[in-house]
Amino acid sequence: MDFPRTLRIPIRLDDDPGYRGSVHDDAVARRMGFKAALVPGAFVYGHVSRIAVDSWGVDWLRHGLMGARFRRPVYDGDVLTAEASALADTGSDRRSEVSLRNEDGEEVATGWVAMPLEDPMPPAVADCPVQPLPEPPQAVEPGGMVVGTRLGSRNAVLTGEEFRRSLNAFDEGHPLYLGGGLVHSGCLIRRTMFDANRSFRFPAPVVFVSGEAQHFAPVSPGQRLSTSGTVTAAYERKGRHYFETEELLVVDGARVAARFRRTSIYA
């Protein structure tokens, strides 16, 4: 894919029973005053990542970067327009800025996709401790998130069935994923996000605000995945409580495949 580029993105939310009773359930969302079910931010992130894969293919899964920030709700049935700018040299990578707008012309998300000018060095796995998810999760009150807290993690194989469900959930149809046996970036960040959010008991549903990714190696179904993560910042802004995390995706206990940095609202 050449830059600049304009893409039309139909948004479809799958019928995962886990959405029932949440804002991702159409009936619940409408009762709360929304026009339809809200689409999780991870899925919007996945659509931004597709611009990168269309452009650089498997090389992007080996060492590409991206970022996304979610500015307004995205609804099931929306049709978004993505504008990807011409590539610019930042000194460390070649980058395209991305803007996603809904049919009313409102900017619902911004982001960027990039390829580094030099291949990045992944963190040494010896420096990436993995600890189990706490049972029960630690309760966190507004303002109570502590910087430096380690995140827990599952240590489980990503099965072929889980991978196929993820492709359906993200409406992902790129040939690299369908035929190449490689796991898409949205599935990976959702995996580490699950571990981060299950490490605590929050006073309110967590809202995914923004995320950045640095890939170091492709991931395939059948590999064992775990998260080595830390709370890196916590603060209050306009009455909302935020926390930031660094989440390293460890594959088979032997290498780091990606680093995700996320910002979330927890109260």
Choose from 74-78, 176-180, 213-217 the range with maximum mean pLDDT. 213-217
Span 234-260, pLDDT tens digits: 999 999 999 999 999 999 999 999 999
At 220, give phi and psi (nearest 5°).
-125, 150
How do residues 157-170 score in pLDDT, each as one tens digit?
999 999 999 999 99
Q: Under a CB-based contact definition with an 8 Å cutoff, are residues 193 and 26 in contact?
A: no
> Which residue range(s) make up the domain with 202?
122-267
Residues 129, 260 within the same domain: yes
120, 155, 185 — which closes off a domain?
A: 120
Give me 221's structure tokens.
Answer: 């179904």
Q: Could you tell me the sign of the dihedral formed by the alpha carbons of 211, 168, 250, 218, in that order?
A: negative
Q: Are 157 and 223 in contact (CB under 8 A)?
A: yes
Q: 153 and 242, same structural domain?
A: yes
Shared domain check, 137 and 106: no
Same domain, 96 and 197: no
CA separation for the pair 264, 242 (Å, rounded): 6
1 pLDDT tier (thresholds 50, 70, 90): low
74 and 170: one domain?
no
pLDDT score recorded for residue 17: 75
Residue 32 — very low, low, confident or very high, per pLDDT cuts 50/70/90? confident
Contact 186, 167 (CB under 8 A): no
CATH of residue 266's domain is 3.10.129.10
pTM (predicted TM-score): 0.95
Domain termination site, one of 76, 93, 120 = 120
Please count the structural domains in the chain. 2
Pair 90, 220 in one domain:
no
102-to-11, 13, 18, 83, 109 alpha-carbon distances in Å:
10, 16, 26, 12, 9
Residue 113: strand pairing partners: 66, 96
Burial of 83 (0-12, 13-18, 19+ CB in 10 A): middle
Closest CA to 45 of 19, 79, 70: 70
- How many Cβ atoms from other residues are within 10 Å of residue 116's Cβ? 16
Are residue 155 and residue 59 in the same domain, yes or no? no
For residue 221, with 0-12 CB atoms within 10 Å meaning exposed, 13-18 middle and 19 or more buried, which class applies?
middle
- 47 strand-pairing partners: none
